[in-house]
Amino acid sequence: MADYDLAIIGGGLNGVSLARDAAGRGLRVILFEQGDLGGAASSATPRLIHGDLSVLERRRFRRVRRALAERRIWLRIAPHLVRPMRFVIPAHSDERPPWLLRAGLYVYDGLTNRGGLPPSATLDITHHPVGNALKRPFGTAFEYSDCVVDDSRLVVLTALDAAEHGAAIRTGARCVRADRTDTWRLAVVDRGHRRTITARALANATGGWTPMVAETVLRQPQPAMAATQMSQIIVPSLFDSENVYVFQNNDGRLIFARPFERDFTLIGTVTHAFTGDPAIVAMPGADVGYLCEAASRYFRERVAPTDVVRTVSGVNPTLASARGRDGTMLFHARRRKAPLLTMFGGDVTTSRLRAEWAVTKLTPFYPMSPPWTAGAALPGGDFAWDRFDTEVDLARDRWRFLSEPEAQRLVGAYGTRLPAVLGEAKTRDELGPVFGPELTGAEVRYLMAREWARFPEDVLWRRSKLGLTMPAADRDALASFMANVM
Ligand SMILES: Cc1cc2nc3c(=O)[nH]c(=O)nc-3n(C[C@H](O)[C@H](O)[C@H](O)COP(=O)(O)OP(=O)(O)OC[C@H]3O[C@@H](n4cnc5c(N)ncnc54)[C@H](O)[C@@H]3O)c2cc1C
């Protein structure tokens, strides 16, 4: 008998979503990630949970409706990671006419049961706080509801849920060879040790590495693929209102600017074809300039490349024959050839649903229970989304040393699992050393013990974004602390 029912290569959003779905349906699952969970494209997404107005513009109504239905599910199962926001599109005299935007949002509202989110509206932004940060000529804007998400925490908490349903999650474990007969035999270099396991089915969810893994590790034929790089920039905060701006650029694209980690603004996205090694992806200067220019058309304060404090880029493959970013799922099984599932691309919003579809492909091969992930909260997400502020208040009542922004960050990251991080501490001193403004030893220990963090980057850029405000000396202190905990 094989060691596992399903082995998954790749711990990005696609891989962990497969692991969660399959483990909860009773399969014996193991996932191998060569680096950190969400260490590649899955922490470089636009971080939006939305129906996507650019998709609406292409009149793909069914796809928008499906994404909006998923938005409701995310709000229910991950109310700590997914936050509703008002999205604001200023009308621009050179771009889409206001009547078209108004009509589009009317359709957008109608494609979903909004589940308590307010409908779209027209704003006079000369007299509205959202207009304060914008150039003067913008008089009218349209406002609608969508959500933002912490993408890399979504990956980690999905993996945690998979593990709590029995999946084995191995980070720092690179799959170097997979032989296919009526089962799969995988050779893995797992934190320096070579090990071999067998599995009845295999999923290749290696994102930008998909064609390379198919060719050199699995040695299986694959259709022709192309790769796309997607990038965003982070700059010091450009506005203090809690909304996402959607700007129409002069090439017809929609660019967004959203509040990010209290003191910053995230601006994205720009995409272009990519060739090369997905492990070495950097944002070209021309792309930085493009986003700065696009944002400067609207913001009063000019955005210059020298303002950029960090760039974020990821690479994803697309089928050479496909357009857009719907994501691809390929399934192959034959007599005496164990099933192979290949899954890549797709947006964050529909990742849960696509994993559900993919695992369902395996039903002829194993007995398994029905789909379940739409109704089960991710770890820490067992509260109603409109009670987020109440959860923050409760946290501040219990741990009186927490400031409001700190409590917001902690509830946003851990939800109802926060007691497992802070325990019975009465003072900050009881939480161990402090790195930077607010990262405590207790939080770092929790992340290492429960969320597979091994290195400072895992904590500073994926489990949190505290790298943005962490002084270099504290980063070194954190590295020593983590080396001693290991
Ligand atoms: C053109 C384009 C536009 C997009 N636009 C959006 C958008 O608007 N909104 C949105 O939400 N999303 C968008 N995305 C999607 C998003 O970036 C990703 O598709 C999503 O995060 C899923 O990533 P993944 O898990 O497939 O890959 P990744 O996150 O890259 O994960 C793959 C993992 O596999 C691991 N790996 C590779 N080889 C091995 C090996 N041999 N052994 C072990 N591990 C290995 C890597 O280390 C990596 O962590 C877009 C994607 C594309 C292509």
Which of 43, 316, 341 most suits a substitution to test ligand 1, by most atoms within 8 Å of the C-beta?
316
Question: Sorting pLDDT into bands at 50, 70 and 90, what band is 284?
Answer: very high
Asked, as a colleague might, if the bond just before 269 is cis with ω within 30 of 0, I would say: yes
Predicted local confidence at residue 325, as pLDDT: 58
Check residue 33 and give its pLDDT: 98
pLDDT, position 322 = 65
Tell me if 379 CB under 6 Å of ligand 1.
no
Q: Which amino acid is at 60?
A: R
pLDDT band at 460; cut points 50, 70, 90: very high
- Res 323: pLDDT: 57
Full-model pTM: 0.96
Cα 104 to Cα 88, 119, 355, 362: the distances in Å are 14, 13, 30, 39
Per-residue pLDDT of 360-393, as tens digits, reads: 999 999 889 999 999 999 999 999 999 999 999 9
Q: Are 82 and 290 in contact (CB under 8 A)?
A: no
How much of the chain, in percent, has pLDDT values that exceed 90?
81
Q: 226-319 domain in CATH 3.40.630.30? A: no
Question: CB-based contacts of 48: which residues, under 8 Å, 6+ apart?
Answer: 146, 147, 148, 149, 244, 256, 348, 349
CB of 285 closer than 8 Å to CB of 305: yes
Q: Is pLDDT of 104 > 90? A: no
- 321-338 mean pLDDT: 79
> What is the pLDDT at residue 94?
80
What stretch(es) of the chain map to CATH 1.10.8.870?
A: 385-485
From the CB of 112, is ligand 1 less than 6 Å away? no
Residue 235 sits at φ, ψ, to 5 deg, of -130, 160
Residue 350 near ligand 1, beta carbon < 6 Å: no
Q: List residues bridging with 122 in a β-sheet.
A: 142
The verdict on the CB of residue 217 being under 6 Å from ligand 1 is yes
What is the mean predicted confidence (pLDDT) over 63-85? 95
How far are the Cα atoms of 38, 241, 342 from residue 332, in angstroms, in the given order?
26, 49, 9
CA 472, 450, 187 angle in degrees (round to 5)?
95
Six-digit token string for 338 = 């164990």
Mean pLDDT across 8-16: 98
Tell me what pLDDT residue 136 has: 81
Which is it for strands 434-435 and 439-440: parallel, antiparallel or unpaired? antiparallel
Pocket test for ligand 1, best of 17, 20, 45, 153 (most atoms within 8 A of CB): 45
CATH placement of domain 4-42+153-224+323-375: 3.50.50.60
Locate 403 and state its tokens. Answer: 């400031």
Q: What pLDDT does 211 receive?
A: 93
- Beta carbon of 15 within 6 Å of any ligand 1 atom: yes
Q: Which residue has the higher pLDDT, 82 or 328?
A: 82
Cβ burial of 145 (10 Å; 0-12, 13-18, 19+) is buried
Does residue 211 have its Cβ closer than 6 Å to ligand 1?
no
Q: Ligand 1 centre and the CA of 345: distance in Å?
A: 6
- List, for residues 196-242, the tens digit of each pLDDT value: 999 999 999 999 999 999 999 999 988 888 999 999 999 999 999 99
pLDDT at 286 over 60: yes
Q: Is 222 in the pocket of ligand 1 (CB under 6 A)?
A: no
Domain with CATH 3.50.50.60 in the chain: 4-42+153-224+323-375
Can you give the pLDDT at residue 448? 98
pLDDT, tens digit, 9 for 90 and up, residues 398-436: 999 999 999 999 999 999 999 999 999 999 999 999 999
- What pLDDT score was predicted for residue 318? 87
The amino acid present at 481, given as its one-letter code, is: F
The tokens describing 286, both together, are 């021309």
Average pLDDT of the chain to the nearest whole number: 94
348 C-beta closer than 6 A to ligand 1:
yes
Question: What residues contact 348, with CB distance under 8 A and at least 6 apart?
Answer: 13, 45, 47, 48, 49, 149, 151, 154
Question: How is residue 255 written in tokens?
Answer: 């660019």
Instruction: Give nearest CA residue, ligand 1 atom 2.
Output: 325
CATH number of 385-485: 1.10.8.870
Q: Is the model's pLDDT at 77 over the cut of 60?
A: yes
Q: Give the mean model confidence (pLDDT) for residues 65-73.
A: 94
pLDDT, residue 224, reads 87
36 within ligand 1 shell (Cβ under 6 A): no
